[in-house]
Amino acid sequence: MKTIFTGLLVAFVFVASGQDEKYTNAMNSAIAGINQSQTNAGLMDAANQFERIGISEKDKWLPFYYASYAYIVASYQEQDLAKKDQYLDKAQQLLDNAFELSGKESELFALQAFLYPSRIIADPLARGVECLGKMNWSLDKAIELNPENPRSYYLRAITLLNMPEAFGGGAEVARPHFEKAKEKFDLFTPESALSPNWGKELNEAELGKLNLK
């Protein structure tokens, strides 16, 4: 009886290990797809791949996070405002799926904050005040949940940089936030090889531009 139990345990561990490896390989492939994409079509391919993984791996939030991220990045590159909103609607749907699985994850609130400026671009007069308030709330929540998450500081910095000085923005207002983000990025270690780890190069580039002025 003991031998049978041991054999079943070994078989279970072997199957679970194989499933984890399959998930990891699929995620790495889709992440590479995002990193290598030069067009929105490539981002959509990666997003679809992540969504399929998320549907299969029902207890994991990361596939939905990356699928949403791909749609948000595509929205910033899209000039057609109607299509931009379509991308953002899909991004929000995927992000909501991730929130259902992990409602207290700092990275999800940071990604939510990343979505709002693109909403504003599509219709600044109608959406500016509401979306800016929601974005700041999301960033505050992301920092509350994990003060070491560098993406939260970077996103606040880039928003302030692009905000008119009359509304409290501008380069000099944004600079200390970029510097804070740099401190956090320099110390940051992702929780796993699949965890979000973007933004450092973007922050360095913006800080470099400011330092040249």
Query: What pTM does this model have?
Result: 0.89
- Answer for the pair 136, 120: CB distance below 8 angstroms, yes or no: no
Give pLDDT, residue 213: 66
Give pLDDT, residue 143: 97
Q: What percent of the chain has pLDDT over 70?
A: 91
Give pLDDT, residue 15: 44
Burial class (CB in 10 A: 0-12, 13-18, 19+), 63: buried
Give pLDDT, residue 3: 52
The alpha carbon of residue 18 and the mean position of all alpha carbons in its chain are separated, in whole angstroms, by 27
* C-beta neighbour count of 95 within 10 angstroms: 25
Phi-psi region of 145 (alpha: psi -120 to 50; beta: other; left: phi over 0): alpha
Query: What b/e sequence results for 96-106 when a residue is b if at least 16 CB atoms lie within 10 Å of its CB, and e otherwise?
Result: ebbbebbeebb
Give pLDDT, residue 46: 97
Query: What is the biggest distance separating any 2 CA atoms in the chain, rounded to whole angstroms?
Result: 77
Q: CA nearest 108: which of 57, 72, 76, 75? A: 72
Each residue of 42-71: pLDDT tens digit?
999 999 999 999 999 999 999 999 999 999
Give pLDDT, residue 164: 85
* Average pLDDT across the chain, whole number: 91
Each residue of 122-180: pLDDT tens digit?
888 899 899 999 999 999 999 999 999 999 999 999 999 988 888 889 999 999 999 99
Give pLDDT, residue 137: 97
Q: Which two tokens stand for residue 87?
A: 């991308």
Mean pLDDT of the 104-124 span: 95
Query: What b/e sequence results for 25-34 when a residue is b if at least 16 CB atoms lie within 10 Å of its CB, and e otherwise?
Result: ebbeebbebb
Nearest-angstrom CA–CA distance, 17 and 12: 8
Query: All domains of the chain, ordered by start, with CATH?
Result: 1-103 (no CATH), 105-213 (1.25.40)
